[in-house]
């Protein structure tokens, strides 16, 4: 923890007004430190710039060729001078290195008690997964609590960049990467993908929501972990968030370089690239999500869809997507939204009655049944939210 020790020392540096001119919002202590380091470097730069360009301008004015002016003798080398203007910059860059090193070690050393959020970057979405199994395309974080992002990528290199926190770290496929922050000012801050990742790189943005309080954060989390009761609704959400949208339209239009539209896809008989015929049913869609290259519809051979293993799309989510595809078919005859909501309300009532009103369970055990096992295991490690009890 040498890094944070040194880091706290550099907190005493005076605030330099320049930082405000260069940067936008800052919502973490790290950001403030970065701004200070930036300010110091900028002042050093300005000093050198004024020195160099000022001398240049003075020389241009004073020694410009004009009638009657000739060059004056002066020495063509001076070792003392050379050494002086080598040594002074060395000392200054050593200082700059040291300041940068301090801040960096702090950025790379998350506190032991930090709250882990999984980040799954894929073309062209970030999905944030919380310890209770909930996931969202927006990064929800509690205020004043260290949050560690555990990052992975499903396809190519992405980079999670939050300008207001002044942090950035690539999400590299085939490994984990980490970054952390403690946001102290509630609000919404932009979040970008900073590493070029293909077609929709510039649309791979999102935002961070720093909640007003821990309670508000827990509430949002509980809300997030409730899957929409009506499959097609949920499926549409997944279609947007998981990146299906970029290649599969829902209105029958063709997307260049993408795959078949989902409109009226259900029950359709597709001719595969190898000539065989397949009816679009549950198994086929499941296979197309898990192993997209196994069966390719004729005409889409060049399209290289990423495989989505269970870590990216859970079985329940696959069902929701299938429900959505069914809904997009003219022949849809599943339950309507009203019916589904009524059924869910009925089920919940029944559940409440048998549950006996356990207060802890209400906060965390909202997810669908197939996720329950996972979330109950993973919440063990979760520090109990202090306000959880008061909510009841």
153 Cβ partners below 8 Å, 6+ apart?
120, 121, 122, 171, 172, 173
To another protein, the closest distance from the beta carbon of 310 in angstroms equals: 8
Minimum gap (Å) between residue 105 Cβ and another protein: 7
Q: Give the span between the Cα atoms of 345 and 316, in whole angstroms.
A: 19
CA distances, 378 to each of 52, 113, 116, 303, 373 (Å): 60, 15, 11, 37, 9
Of residues 148 and 211, the one with the C-beta less far from another protein: 148
Q: Minimum CB separation from another protein for residue 326, in Å?
A: 24
Residue number with CB closer to another protein (82 or 267): 82
Nearer to another protein, 80 or 331 (CB): 80
User: Residue 96 and residue 171: Cα distance in Å, rounded?
Assistant: 28
- Minimum distance between the CB of residue 46 and another protein, rounded to whole angstroms? 9
User: What is the DSSP code string of 183-230?
Assistant: B-S-EEEEEEE-S--STTGGG--EEEEE-SSHHHHHHHHHHHTSPPSS
The angle that helices 2-10 and 29-63 make with each other, rounded to 10 degrees, is 60
Instruction: Tell whether omega for the bond before 45 is within 30 degrees of 0, i.e. cis.
Output: no
Report the residue number, 6 or 344, with the smaller CB distance to another protein.
6
Closer by beta carbon to another protein, 160 or else 340: 160
CB 275 → another protein: shortest distance, Å? 22
Closer residue to another protein, CB minimum distance, 85 or 390: 85
In angstroms, give the least distance from the CB of 131 to another protein.
Answer: 7
- Sign (positive/negative) of CA torsion 227, 231, 234, 238? positive
3 closest CA partner among 158, 172, 180, 127:
180
Give the shortest CB-387-to-another protein separation in angstroms: 23
Residue with Cβ nearer another protein (93 or 345): 93
The angle at the Cα of 39, spanning 36 to 40, to the nearest 5 degrees, equals 90
């Amino acid at each position: 923890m040498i890094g944070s020790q040194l880091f706290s020392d550099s907190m005493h540096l005076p605030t330099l007004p320049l930082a405000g001119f260069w940067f936008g919002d800052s919502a973490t202590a790290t950001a403030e430190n970065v701004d200070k380091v930036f300010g110091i470097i900028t002042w050093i730069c300005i000093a050198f710039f004024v020195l160099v360009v000022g001398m240049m301008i003075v020389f241009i004015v004073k020694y410009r060729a004009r009638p009657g002016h000739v060059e004056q003798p002066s020495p063509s080398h001076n070792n003392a001078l050379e050494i002086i203007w080598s040594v002074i910059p060395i000392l200054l860059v050593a200082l700059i290195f040291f300041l940068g090193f301090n801040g960096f070690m702090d950025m790379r050393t998350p506190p032991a008690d930090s709250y882990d959020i999984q980040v799954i970057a894929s073309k062209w979405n970030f999905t944030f997964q919380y310890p209770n199994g909930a996931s969202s395309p927006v990064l929800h974080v509690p205020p004043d609590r260290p949050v560690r992002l555990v990052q992975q990528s499903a396809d190519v290199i992405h980079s999670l960049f939050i300008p207001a926190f002044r942090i950035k770290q690539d999400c590299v496929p085939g490994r984990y990467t980490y970054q952390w922050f403690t946001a102290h000012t509630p609000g919404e801050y932009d979040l970008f993908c900073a590493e070029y990742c293909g077609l929709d790189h510039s649309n791979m943005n999102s935002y961070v929501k720093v909640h007003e309080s821990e309670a508000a954060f827990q509430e949002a989390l509980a809300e997030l972990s409730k899957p929409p009761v009506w499959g097609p609704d949920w499926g549409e959400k997944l279609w947007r968030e998981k990146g299906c949208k970029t290649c599969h339209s829902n209105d029958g239009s063709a997307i260049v370089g993408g795959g078949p539209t989902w409109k009226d896809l259900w029950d359709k008989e597709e001719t595969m690239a190898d000539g065989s015929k397949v009816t679009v049913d549950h198994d086929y869609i499941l296979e197309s999500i898990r192993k997209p290259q196994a069966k390719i519809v004729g005409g889409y051979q060049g399209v290289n869809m990423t495989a989505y293993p269970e870590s990216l799309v859970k079985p329940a989510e696959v069902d929701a997507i299938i429900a959505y595809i069914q809904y997009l078919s003219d022949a849809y005859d599943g339950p309507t939204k009203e019916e589904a909501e009524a059924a869910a309300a009925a089920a919940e009532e029944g559940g409440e009655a048998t549950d006996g009103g356990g207060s802890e369970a209400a906060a965390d055990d909202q997810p669908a049944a197939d996720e329950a096992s996972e979330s109950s295991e993973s919440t063990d490690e979760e520090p109990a939210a202090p306000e959880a009890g008061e909510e009841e």
